[in-house]
Structure 1
Amino acid sequence: MPLYKTITPNSQTTVKIWKISEPYNDLFQSLSLKPKSLERVLRMKSELHQRGFLSVRKLLAEFGYADKDLFYDDCGKPHLKDGKHISITHSFQFSAIIVSDTAVGIDIEKQRQKINIIAHKFIDYEFDYLDENDADYIKKLTTIWCVKESLYKLYATPGLSFKQHCLVIPFNINDEETVAWIDYKTKKHRYNIRFLEFEGFTCAYAI
């Protein structure tokens, strides 16, 4: 399937989302991979992960980049050779990239009931405003996870805790935006967050 969605939150930032419906061979044959990427994708045991990896390279092409333009630092954070900021995510049949002139992070997650089981591992302050009887409770948990994951990718600092250092202010699902903070050691950083839902998935990105 071609590009699923393009979002332009501001003049310096673009989000592109891909729905992964192509067979592995179609994706593989349409791309030119550098040796390290080729080795990595061939070692993957899951075809779902292989297709996710390759779909990210298709998204790079949508931005005008090739696989060789992407590299990762020692912390595993992706970078582009031209100095633009990039963040990458994929979950099941969706992948997404955000590219910007400023620091960014993005995450996609499938909305699933089992997130309730692990909520205590990544939520602290947010329990003050969450209501388990809310019809949107699972969606809100998923959104909070996506927000915190996007902050983690953006900040890229060892020791940062979802539960202790990332705070998401109250929001409604229909708001499609909120504010989040990283409160880590002596530093406090405020981030504007956008989020959206599609086909049982949630995507959030931090700028």
Structure 2
Amino acid sequence: MPLHSCQRLSPTAVLGLWQLTETPETLWPLLPQPAAYQALMPATADAARQAQWLAGRVLIHALLPQLMAEPPTDLVVHNDATGRPWLAGNGHGLTMSLSHSGTWVAAVLSLGGRVGVDIEIIRDKAQRLAGKFLAADEWAAAQAAAADGPAHYTLLWSAKETLYKLAAQRGIIFKTQLLLGDFAPQQSGEIPATLVLAGVETRHCICYSQPAPGYVLTYCHEPAA
């Protein structure tokens, strides 16, 4: 299906969701410069992975007109050494973040600043691995607050994934450098977060919602100063 939703986060940023129903064959014609993307497609990706990869790039190109009256025609989504996507070409300082899980693809596109987004299928994996990515106080709070264990722990994992993408650095330890504050779990809301890099703590706000049954979405947008 086409673009599922587009939400304006600020005058300079948009959040887009794509519900993936297409095959790779039907997604290719939706991309500009398909030859450039054919050279970037991961060689080991199976058909499902190819569809997610392509849908993410189609989504970014679908969001561009929301921020630019006449988007440059030479823009191509690449990945840097940390795996973070970026737009090669005359991108005018555009920043972006991409995520996909199951049949959903999410993206945040911004004119500068920092962004992060993550979408996850709700499952029990995050709860089983909680001790590996949650600090002791986070784990204690989750055990006390989680009425729906898998959904709550998936939300916590997703929030840390979004903060990790915002940091855009490799080697970050989720348990000690990506910290989540107290919040009352709801269908949608905000989670206070702290990023610890080189001994310096910075404060952030992670927004969350459930865009579809069985999924959780988190994102963060911080405009350029």
Alpha-carbon deviation of 1:42?
6.7
> 1:5, 1:67 → 2: CA distance?
25
- Checking the alignment, whether the CA contact within 8 Å between 1:44 and 1:50 is kept in structure 2 is no
Gaps of 5+ in 1: none
Gaps of 5+ in 2: 65-70
1:1-207 equivalent positions in 2, closer than 5 A: 1-33=1-33, 35=35, 37-41=37-41, 43-64=43-64, 68-80=75-87, 81-100=91-110, 101-124=112-135, 125-131=137-143, 134-171=146-183, 172-197=185-210, 198-207=212-221
- Bigger shift: residues 98-107 or 63-72: 63-72
Question: Helix, strand or coil: the match of 1:199?
Answer: coil
- Checking the alignment, whether the CA contact within 8 Å between 2:163 and 2:206 is kept in structure 1 is no
Alpha-carbon deviation of 1:35?
4.2
Alpha-carbon deviation of 1:74?
2.2
- Checking the alignment, whether the CA contact within 8 Å between 1:60 and 1:67 is kept in structure 2 is no
- Checking the alignment, whether the CA contact within 8 Å between 1:147 and 1:204 is kept in structure 2 is yes
**Under a length normalisation based on structure 2, what TM-score does the superposition of the two structures give?**
0.83
**Under a length normalisation based on structure 1, what TM-score does the superposition of the two structures give?**
0.90
> 1:133, 1:144 → 2: CA distance?
12
| Count of aligned pairs | 207
Distance 1:42 1:116, change over 3 A: closer
- Checking the alignment, whether the CA contact within 8 Å between 1:34 and 1:68 is kept in structure 2 is no
Seq. identity, %: 27
